[in-house]
Amino acid sequence: MYLRVLASREKVIDQGHRDTTRSVGDLGVAPQGQVERGGAEVMHRRAFTGKDKTLGSHSANTLGAAPHDQKKKSNEVENTHRHGAEGGGNPLGPNHPDVLLGVIGLAVTLLAESNYEEAKVIYRHGLRAMEKALGPDHPVALDSMNTLGETLLDLGRYDEAEAMCRLALAGREKTLGADHAVTLTSANNLGRTLYHQRKYEEAEMIFQSTQAGRKKVLGLYHPDTLLSAVCLGVTLLDRKKYGEAEVVYRHALGAMEKALGPDHPDVLDNVNTLGETLLDLKNYSEAEVVCRRALVGREKKFGPDHRDTLLSANNLGLALRNQNKHHEAEISYRRAMIGAEKTLGLGHRDTLMCIYNLAGVLHKQRKYGEAEMMHRRALTGRERILGLGHRHTLRSLIKLGTVLHEKGEYGEAEIMYRRAVTEAERALGQGHPTTLKNFNLLSIFLQARATSAAGEAS
């Protein structure tokens, strides 16, 4: 499902920064091929079960849909596929579609085992043999291209996935027509490969076309239509087309609620993303309402310490903070921090980002003692986990320096500002915007300190 698309948005928290709204750190982000809540794995298993019943266990589509734990390397599985790929004395002969499917099945199995180089040789051989024996536009050849494209996409081999998906799409458009449901699946897969390569403009065009086609062929409430809508919304967000993204998400949310019910996890995901879009649009009052709905729904569905619940708590904190509801924001941020400590551990980068957010809203309330303590915790952890020159570490240095400055601890504040400049120069270079910004903040601090000293002397 579209959760794979959402999970791939590798964003991190920073209070007041656009990326804050994407996840509690990377709370909502799982490594490539693994998705929060296991939602995609559940969908993958469901797809495997359905395809296996329809196509048989040796079909290329079935093999491509097999869950990852069923693809783990074992001599028995691999040898079975090798036996089929080599013909194994099969009376059908080496060019029979079933034998050629065995070749593709072996390639998919090897890809799933991360045996990439051998898989590449085998699937290229298999596709050439298929094209020669069956023709490049034969349904079996096109299905195999699509399966390999999806597998490469899931493995993060986006450039090769793009090439394979383009071949599958071109063939299916030629043989089935542009509005066939199978063709639209290939188009959506191509859009996903482009999205992951940050080719957002072309991805947007493809998702626009795919959504319109699926709406026409499958109907507004079909899961594939909703998938294309969410893919389009995500792409619009990354292109900073927040107004258009809001429209897409509102339409998708209405359709999802009707199709799945208001408390379905996918509906709650869309509610959360709509809230994030409203935050991007600086529509903070409505964002607060939507984020509260996402938080209540996710807490009820998943519990108070689930990653999705913590994400919504963080988003609500951001909406409140930007309306100067600092006390309420503190409660929401503190809740996200405590949950992250419990769920992820004290030293996790996402927990540190929750600590940083809380420190910021404490600073806004002039609670300097606790704000300093939280910023020091965040800084210490980020130095250890992210490194001295990471942008979040540099931001922690600046924020801690600001708190110390306002407390009148000028010596320590100057140390933090100078460190932020030095580490930025070392990591990013003297001319980098972050380095220049940090240098400017140091200059402002030094000027303010000199003015204050002159006033005291007089």
DSSP for 409-423 reads -HHHHHHHHHHHHHH
CA distance 440 to 204: 38
Q: What is the pLDDT of residue 456?
A: 66
pLDDT band at 17 (very low <50, low <70, confident <90, very high): very low
CATH annotation of 94-197: 1.25.40.10
Q: What is the pLDDT of residue 215?
A: 93
Q: What is the pLDDT of residue 73?
A: 43
Which two tokens mark 180? Answer: 């066939």
DSSP reduced 3-state for 156: coil
Which two tokens mark 316? Answer: 């609500």
Q: Across all residues in the chain, what is the average pLDDT?
A: 79
Topology given in CATH for the domain delimited by 261-365 = 1.25.40
Q: What is the pLDDT of residues 309-332, one digit of tens each?
A: 999 999 999 999 999 999 999 999
CA distance 12 to 60: 38
Place of tokens 């794995």: 41
Q: Do domains 94-197 and 261-365 have the same CATH topology?
A: yes
CA distance 51 to 68: 15
> By C-alpha distance, which of 3, 50, 46, 49 is closest to 28?
3
Which two tokens mark 120? Answer: 């590449």
Neighbours of 307 (CB within 10 A): 24
Q: What is the CA radius of gyration of the chain?
A: 26
The b-or-e profile of 223-255 (16+ CB within 10 A means b, else e) is bbbbbbbbbbbbbbbbeebbebbbebbeebbeb
Q: What is the pLDDT of residues 231-280, one digit of tens each?
A: 999 999 999 999 999 999 899 899 989 988 999 998 999 899 899 999 98
Q: What is the pLDDT of residue 100?
A: 67
pLDDT surpasses 80 at 58: no
pLDDT surpasses 90 at 60: no
> By C-alpha distance, which of 355, 367, 335, 343 is closest to 395?
355
> By C-alpha distance, which of 260, 200, 276 is closest to 227?
260
Q: What is the pLDDT of residue 97?
A: 63
Q: What is the pLDDT of residues 404-433, one digit of tens each?
A: 999 999 999 999 999 999 999 999 999 999
Please tell me which residue, 214 or 116, carries the higher pLDDT value: 214
394-406 mean pLDDT:
97
Please tell me which residue, 201 or 131, carries the higher pLDDT value: 201
Counting beta carbons within 10 angstroms of the beta carbon of residue 279, is it exposed (0 to 12), middle (13 to 18) or buried (19 or more)?
buried
Q: What is the pLDDT of residue 394?
A: 97
Neighbours of 284 (CB within 10 A): 18
| Structural domain boundaries in the chain | 94-197, 213-259, 261-365, 384-457
371-376 mean pLDDT:
98
Percent of the chain with pLDDT over 70: 75
